A and B are shown apart, each in its own frame.
Chain A
Amino acid sequence: MASKQFMVSRRGFLKLGVGAAATATAGGLLKARPAGAQGGLKPGFESKFTVCDMCFNKCSAIARVGDGVVRKLDPNPKFLKSRGMLCAKGNAGLHQLYDPNRLKYPLLRVGERGQGQFRRISWSEALDLAAAKMGAIAKEYTRCGMLFMAGADMQSTFVHRFAEAFGSYNVISHESNCLLSNNRAFLDTFGEVPIPDVLNSKYILMAGANRFESLVTPDSIDLMTTLREHGCKLVVLDPRYTKTAALANEYHAIRPGTDLALMLALMHVLINEGLYDKQFVAEKTYGLEQLRTHVQSYSPEWAAGQTDIPAEAIRRMARELAAAAPAAMVYPGRRSSDYANSTQIRRGFAMVNALLGNWDRPGGLTAARVVGLKGGIPLEAPFYEDNPPERVDSGQARLMFEEEGSFKLTRDAALKGEPYPIKGFFAYHVNPMQTGANRRKTIAMLNQMDFVMVMDVAMTDTAWMADLVLPSQTYLERLDPASAQQGSSACACVVQRDPVAPAMFEAQPVFFVVQELAKRLELGEHFDFTVEEFRAAQLADLPDAPQALAEDGVYYNPSRLYGVYEGKIYKTKSHKIELFNQRYAEAGLDPMPVYTAPAQPPAGQFRLVVGRNALITQSSSTSNALLLQMQPDNDLWIHPDSAARLGVKAGQRVAVTSPAGQQVLTARVTHETRPDTVYMHTGFGVMSRELAAYGRGGCIAAVLVDAVDEISGNMAMHETFVQVAAA
C-alpha cells in the first residue's frame, strides 16, 4: 500500500516540481517553498499532564501544547507504572483528538437501523428524546428493561451510578468479553486477584498471554528488563509464534485448549518429586492431600500427548520453576475469554503458583497494594418496588460477578425475552459489535430494542446500530475522576485527567449526559455535584495527592508490597489459599480442575484463535490515521501445509466460515501458527462506513461462536472451528 501511495506522490512531486521551478525563477530563487509545514514544537509550547486512553493501561503522559493545539504526546518520565514509556498507540492519541471522522454532533437515526442514515439534532432535543424513551421503557418493562454497558473509562463510573439511580441492575462492562474467568480463578484460589512482580522474577512460564505485543504496564517492560538484566528465563507456550515467543528463551507451540493438562502435569511433578514449598503449603494452603491424589493420573507423559510438549520438557519446566521459586511464576495473564472451562484452566495456573509459594514475596505474585483512593460521592439509590428480583443474566453462570454481569448471557436473555424483556440499551465507550463473539446475535439483540443510545468518540459499529448517537469528548479534552492503579513493585498510584486541549465541535463528556438525563428523569439529586467535587471526595484521605498530581502527574502511595498477608487470613472459605476449593465442591463444581480434552476440529477445519499486537486496542484503535499506516488491516494466519492442502496461496482472499458467520480476508501463509489453528487480529472488518478501517480485513465477532465459561459467564471465543476456502 505504501508503495502505491508513493507512486501517486512521485507523480505529484514532478508536477509540483515544474511549478515550483517556475515560481523559483520568477519569484527569485527558492524562497517560495512552504516553510511553515515543518516542526511540531515551536518555542514557548506548554507541557501538560494527561492520562492516556488509547487502551486500558491509563499511562500518565505529557501533552506538548502550542497555540492550543496538541503537537505531541510524550511519556511522563516520573510515571513508574509505565516505566516512563509511551507506546505507539499512546503517541497516536492526538489523531483521535483531531480525527476528521470523529463524532461532532448528536445524531438521530432516520433510515433503517444499521443503514447509517442519521440527521444532526441539538443536544436538548437528543436529551429530551433519550429521557422520554428511557422513561417509557421503565414504565412498560420496569427499570431493569434498560441495559447499560460502559467500557474501561475513567467516566464509566458515572454511567454505573446513573444506572443504579435509574434503577436497572443490568449493567455490564467489557470485561465479560475479556478477563473475568481469570479473575474468578485467582480470586477462588488466593482470595484476591494478584499482581505479578515480573521485575524480580527469575523464571516466568507464560501461557495464554502475549506480553510483548499486548502491552500491560509495568509487566511488558519489566519482562524485558528482567530478561536482559536479571537473567530471568522466559518460557512461552502459545499455538502462535508471537513476538513474545520470538523473544523467549524457550517456546512450545502448545495445542490450543490444553494448558490445563500442562498445569496438572506440573503439579504432578512438583508433588511427586517433593519440589513444592512444603512450609508454605503447610502453613498457607488448603487441600494438598486431595490435590496429591487428584494429580496422580496427570503425568508428564500423559500431558505430552495432550499438549504436544515433550514429557521431558514438562518435567524440566517443573524443576526449573521450583528451583527459581518463590521468585518465579506461572504468569496470570489477562484476557481469558477463550474456552468453556477457562476458569478451571486459570485455576491450574493459580494452583501451580500456590504450590511453589510464589506469593506475597519478591518475584512472585503480589497482593493488591493500598492506594487509598475513595469511591467518590456516595449514592443513595432509590428503591423501585416493581423491579424484578435479579439481573437478567442471573443464575445462568455458577459464580458470575454480579457487578460485572455477562455480555453473552445478558444477550441470550434479551433475545429470549426471559426472564424479562430488555428493550433499551445505553452503551458508552464500549463496542460489543466488534468485541462480542457472534455479531449476528448482537445485531438481533439491538434490533429487538425499543431504544439504542451510544456515546463514543467515533461512529463505532455499535453506534452505527444506534437510534441516537452522542459525541463524546476525547480523553485530551476531558476532566475526569481520579483513578487508582496497581503496579506491583513499580508502584501503587493515583492518576487523574485534566483537559489539555479545548473541546471540539459539540462533543461532551458522558458526565454531562447522565447529569442532564437525571434532571429530566427526576433523579437530579444524585448528580448534584461537579467532577471536581467528585474527585475531591475520592482524594479525601490523600492530603498530599493534589500537589503530587499537579507537580508530577502521579501520586504514589508507598504502601507495603511484600508480606501483606503476614498474620492475616485469606478471603476464602478455608481462610487459606485453596488448592481444594470448598465453595466449588458445594456448588457441584470440580473443587480441583478436572481435565477434559478439548474437542478437535472436524476434518478439514481449523480452530480459530484471536489476539492483537501493540498497535491494536480492538476496534478503538484500528481507524486511527497513524496506526492505520502501520496496521492497515488484518489477515488470516494459516500454516503452509494447511494452505497447500486447501490450494490457498499467500495473499489470496479466503472465506472463513463458522456457524456464527463468514468473513473474507487475505491469507497470510506462515509457520507462525500451527497446522490445526488459524489466527486473526481483532478490530477490523467494521460495518460502520464512518470509520477509516471500513473495507479492511475481517471482523472476529462475525465468525467467533459464543461459547461461555460455565463458572464465570465469560465469553469463550476459542471454541470456534472454521472452514477456510479460497474466496
Chain B
Amino acid sequence: MAVKLGMVIDAASCIDCKGCQAACKVANQVPDGHWRNWIKRGDEEKAALDRQGLRFQPGNCMQCDKPTCVAACPTGATYKEAKDGVVRIDRELCIGCGQCLAACPYQARYRHPQLRVADKCDFCAERRAAGLQPACVDTCPTKARVFGDLNDPDSPAGRLLRGKASVQVVNQQSNTDPNLYYLGDPGPADWPVQAKMPTPWQFWKSLGGPALEALVGLTGLGVIAMYGRQLILGDHDQPPEHASGHPEGGDHDQHA
C-alpha cells in the first residue's frame, strides 16, 4: 500500500504550551503574524465556571484525501504528492490568487506576504528529507502529536490508530477526509467552516478540465487574468480573518 503520511493526536495530552507553534515558525520561517499550525481550545470561561476541565486541540493542515484546496487551485500549484499523500504547494506555479485559502475548511493556509504565494504545513518536507521528524512533533513536550505512515500499522501513528477509537474533525458540508486523527475526545469540533469553492473556475474547469489547468500553469496568460481578478475583487476574494493564519498564538488574542 502507498505511504500515507498523517498525524494522530491525543488532544487530552496537550498542555497548550505552544511549543509546536514556535517550532514550526522557526523551522519553516513563517512570517510574523502568520502560523502554519495551531492549538484550538474549548470555551475556557464555561470551563472555569463549570470546573469541568478544558481540552486543547493541536492541529495543522490535514493533508486531506479529498482536498478542496487542490480542486480550487487554478494553476495546479497545489497538488497531492503521489508518494506520500502530503498536499504540497509548488511555489513556482502558485500565483497567489487565494482561492485555496477560501477552499480550505480548516483555514490552514495563509498567503505569504513577501513571497506572495499560498503557504501551509507540509509536515516539514525539508526536515523529513534530512531524516528529521516534523518540527512540531519533534519538540512536543507531551508527545501529543504523533506522526507517521497511517497505512503502516507499525508506524508510530499507525500503531496508535490500531485498536483505539479515533475521530476526524470535519465540516459536514465539506468532508475532505483528513489525515489528522484525534484519539478519543478531540475537544472543540465545530470550528471547520464550509469550503468556499471558486465558482467561476469550477465552471471553466468543468469545460476545460485538466487541459485548461495545464495551460494556465504553463503560460502566463491565466496569471495576468488572476492578478486582474485580485485587483478587481479585492478583499471579497479573501477569507476575512483566517487568511492571517491562526492568530490565536498566545493567550492574549483569545482574551481580547
Quick one: which of A21, A71, A631, A650 has the most chain B CB within 10 A? A21
Contacts A20-B116, A35-B91, A672-B44; A615 near B250 (Cβ below 8 A): yes
Nearest-Cβ distance from residue A24 to partner chain B, whole angstroms: 6
Cross-chain contact B54 with A88 (CB below 8 angstroms): no
Nearest-Cβ distance from residue A401 to partner chain B, whole angstroms: 31
| Chain A residues within 8 Å of B135, by CB | 72, 74, 91
In the complex the two chains form, what is the Cα distance from A304 to B32 in whole Å? Answer: 49
Contacts A2-B253, A629-B250; A88 near B18 (Cβ below 8 A): yes
| Chain A residues within 8 Å of B249, by CB | 2, 629-630
Cross-chain contact A9 with B33 (CB below 8 angstroms): yes
A75 interface residue per 8 A CB criterion: yes
A 601-625 to B, binary, CB cutoff 8 A, 1 in contact else 0 = 0000000000001110000000001
- The stretch of A36-44, A134-142, A586-594 in contact with B is A36-44
Contacts A40-B28, A632-B252; A627 near B113 (Cβ below 8 A): no
Nearest-Cβ distance from residue A652 to partner chain B, whole angstroms: 12
| Chain B residues within 8 Å of A529, by CB | none
B154 interface residue per 8 A CB criterion: no
- The stretch of B19-27, B158-166, B191-199, B204-212 in contact with A is B19-27
Cross-chain contact B17 with A12 (CB below 8 angstroms): no
A671 interface residue per 8 A CB criterion: yes
Cross-chain contact A18 with B247 (CB below 8 angstroms): no
Cross-chain contact B115 with A33 (CB below 8 angstroms): yes
In the complex the two chains form, what is the Cα distance from A442 to B223 in whole Å? Answer: 62
Cross-chain contact A631 with B17 (CB below 8 angstroms): no
Contacts A33-B92, A224-B15; A629 near B33 (Cβ below 8 A): yes
A225 interface residue per 8 A CB criterion: yes
Cross-chain contact B17 with A614 (CB below 8 angstroms): yes
Cross-chain contact B22 with A251 (CB below 8 angstroms): no
Q: Report the nearest B residue to A667, measured CB to CB.
A: B255
In the complex the two chains form, what is the Cα distance from A83 to B144 in whole Å? Answer: 13
Contacts A38-B29, A627-B22; A670 near B91 (Cβ below 8 A): no
A 236-253 to B, binary, CB cutoff 8 A, 1 in contact else 0 = 000001010011100100
A3 interface residue per 8 A CB criterion: yes
In the complex the two chains form, what is the Cα distance from A668 to B19 in whole Å? Answer: 24
B 136-167 to A, binary, CB cutoff 8 A, 1 in contact else 0 = 00111111000000000000000000000000
Cross-chain contact B141 with A24 (CB below 8 angstroms): no
A 1-21 to B, binary, CB cutoff 8 A, 1 in contact else 0 = 111011001101110111011
Quick one: which of A29, A41, A71 has the most chain B CB within 10 A? A41
Cross-chain contact B45 with A671 (CB below 8 angstroms): yes
Cross-chain contact A75 with B227 (CB below 8 angstroms): no
In the complex the two chains form, what is the Cα distance from A85 to B49 in whole Å? Answer: 33
| Chain B residues within 8 Å of A651, by CB | 256
Nearest-Cβ distance from residue A65 to partner chain B, whole angstroms: 13
| Chain B residues within 8 Å of A24, by CB | 220, 223-224
For B47, give its contact among A35, A228, A246, A633 (CB under 8 Å): A246
In the complex the two chains form, what is the Cα distance from A672 to B44 in whole Å? Answer: 8
Q: Report the nearest B residue to A629, measured CB to CB.
A: B249
In the complex the two chains form, what is the Cα distance from A35 to B90 in whole Å? Answer: 11
Contacts A75-B139, A635-B252; A626 near B22 (Cβ below 8 A): yes
B71 interface residue per 8 A CB criterion: no
A 679-718 to B, binary, CB cutoff 8 A, 1 in contact else 0 = 0000000000000000000000000000000000000000
Quick one: which of B15, B114, B143, B256 has the most chain A CB within 10 A? B15
Cross-chain contact A17 with B141 (CB below 8 angstroms): no
- The stretch of B60-68, B80-88, B126-134, B172-180 in contact with A is B126-134
Nearest-Cβ distance from residue A246 to partner chain B, whole angstroms: 4
Q: Report the nearest B residue to A240, measured CB to CB.
A: B48
Q: Report the nearest B residue to A635, measured CB to CB.
A: B255
| Chain B residues within 8 Å of A91, by CB | 19, 22-23, 25-26, 135, 139
| Chain B residues within 8 Å of A20, by CB | 116
Nearest-Cβ distance from residue B16 to partner chain A, whole angstroms: 6
Cross-chain contact A34 with B114 (CB below 8 angstroms): yes
| Chain B residues within 8 Å of A241, by CB | 44, 47-48
A73 interface residue per 8 A CB criterion: yes
For B17, give its contact among A41, A73, A215 (CB under 8 Å): A215
Q: Report the nearest A residue to B47, measured CB to CB.
A: A246
In the complex the two chains form, what is the Cα distance from A20 to B130 in whole Å? Answer: 32
B contact residues, range = 35 or more
| Chain B residues within 8 Å of A14, by CB | 230-231, 234
Q: Report the nearest B residue to A225, measured CB to CB.
A: B142
Contacts A21-B227, A74-B135, A224-B142; A10 near B29 (Cβ below 8 A): no
Nearest-Cβ distance from residue A125 to partner chain B, whole angstroms: 38
Quick one: which of A1, A71, A221, A630 has the most chain B CB within 10 A? A630
Cross-chain contact B19 with A85 (CB below 8 angstroms): yes
A94 interface residue per 8 A CB criterion: yes
| Chain B residues within 8 Å of A85, by CB | 19, 139-143
A87 interface residue per 8 A CB criterion: yes
| Chain A residues within 8 Å of B252, by CB | 1, 630-633, 635
B 94-123 to A, binary, CB cutoff 8 A, 1 in contact else 0 = 011000000000000001011111000000
Nearest-Cβ distance from residue A82 to partner chain B, whole angstroms: 8
Contacts A92-B22, A248-B53; A41 near B114 (Cβ below 8 A): no
Contacts A3-B247, A14-B231, A33-B115; A40 near B27 (Cβ below 8 A): yes
| Chain A residues within 8 Å of B33, by CB | 1-2, 5-6, 9, 629
In the complex the two chains form, what is the Cα distance from A86 to B140 in whole Å? Answer: 7
| Chain A residues within 8 Å of B95, by CB | 30
Cross-chain contact A29 with B220 (CB below 8 angstroms): yes
Contacts A10-B238, A631-B252; A670 near B26 (Cβ below 8 A): no
| Chain A residues within 8 Å of B16, by CB | 212, 243, 614
B 215-256 to A, binary, CB cutoff 8 A, 1 in contact else 0 = 000011001100100110011001001011101011111011
Cross-chain contact A671 with B48 (CB below 8 angstroms): yes
Nearest-Cβ distance from residue A75 to partner chain B, whole angstroms: 6
Cross-chain contact B18 with A12 (CB below 8 angstroms): no
For B142, give its contact among A6, A35, A221 (CB under 8 Å): A221
Contacts A87-B19, A615-B250; A40 near B139 (Cβ below 8 A): no
In the complex the two chains form, what is the Cα distance from A162 to B31 in whole Å? Answer: 44
Cross-chain contact A2 with B247 (CB below 8 angstroms): yes
A45 interface residue per 8 A CB criterion: yes
Cross-chain contact A30 with B22 (CB below 8 angstroms): no
In the complex the two chains form, what is the Cα distance from A651 to B253 in whole Å? Answer: 11
Nearest-Cβ distance from residue B140 to partner chain A, whole angstroms: 7
Cross-chain contact B114 with A86 (CB below 8 angstroms): no
Nearest 9 CB-CB pairings of A with B:
A630-B250, A2-B247, A9-B113, A246-B54, A88-B22, A630-B249, A6-B244, A91-B22, A85-B141
Q: List 9 A-B contacts (CB under 8 A).
A: A9-B113, A17-B227, A21-B224, A33-B91, A86-B19, A213-B17, A221-B142, A246-B53, A632-B252
Q: Chain A interface (Cβ within 8 Å of chain B)?
A: 1-3, 5-6, 9-10, 12-14, 16-18, 20-21, 24-25, 29-31, 33-35, 37-41, 43, 45, 71-75, 82-83, 85-92, 94, 212-213, 215, 220-221, 224-225, 228, 241, 243, 246-248, 251, 613-615, 625-627, 629-633, 635, 650-651, 666, 668, 670-672
Q: Using A72-B26, A224-B141 as known contacts, list a sample of 16 further A-B pairs with CB atoms less than 8 Å apart, ordered by residue number in A.
A: A2-B249, A3-B241, A5-B32, A6-B33, A9-B31, A38-B115, A39-B28, A39-B29, A87-B141, A241-B47, A243-B56, A613-B251, A614-B18, A615-B18, A631-B252, A672-B48
